[in-house]
Structure 1
Amino acid sequence: MAMATVAPPWAYTLQLPQDPRGPSIARATLRTVLRVHGMGDLIDTAELLTGELVTNAYRYSSGPYSLRLRRAGRSRVRVGVWDTNPEIPAPFSGCLEEPSALAERGRGLLLVQQCADSWGAYPMGGGLPEQSGKLLWVECSGKPESEEDELSCPEE
């Protein structure tokens, strides 16, 4: 009788200071975690998504922020980024407007929307500063080899 192996759930949280090196540290941590857990095929897409979320946390909040990585299925990872700014940005807020052709910013989170399998946001309204702000999350998963990549996102 063959025994099925089940990978135990895992989660990692990385606290990041308001420092320009934070997004780079977050991406390096993500790559390491996914490799260690045999999810290397998710690195390109997950790194793109993580980079956008942590860079926005650094740019648009004035305090510390954190990255949370957790296994969300056999070949699926959930990336969450918490920061102290309570404003939930588009497209997480439901606004799907594309930036104008000449806009210098505003495309990153639209890219997240196109490349993530699912995404969402939660306002955080705790009484302490480290409990307020928002949490943005995305999930990405490996695709069966027979599926073709329809988007211009990194290969999954």
Structure 2
Amino acid sequence: MGRHTSARERQGPENHRRTGVHVAVLVALLAGAGATVFAVAGVPPTGGPGRTAVPVPNGARSAPIGRAETLVIAVTGPACDVKVRRADGAVLLKERLPRGRTVRFGDPRLDVELSDASAAKVYVNGSLRPLGPAGKPTNFTAARPKTARP
């Protein structure tokens, strides 16, 4: 009598390739779901040193803010008009940002205008700035702290 083989054993290596593709698709879906969970939880973004006005794809979030970032604006409420200028007056950003959009700036001094003080989480030098009154505009300056020289 011969050995009994199951249908799975008779399918061969092409079934293993198909299973590998299914696993890869599952991992990609789980990664996307994880990014969404972080976005809903409002985990602040991060970035590298000296970045200026680097938009983050909607829903993307990661660990705490990097030290080199002077300003991070993450729109969490309704769309918000945002204007950011350098100390020399050059406009870095003047745009209506939708909910979920995040921008980062690494310049040493920035003048900021928001059309709705409660529509965005604002981090200055890694610290969350308190939200302002809903529907009210706000203006402020974000600056890196001065370091003592030896």
TM-score (norm 1): 0.23
Structure number with greater Rg is 2
Kindly indicate which of the two structures has a greater share of residues assigned to helix.
1
TM-score (norm 2): 0.24
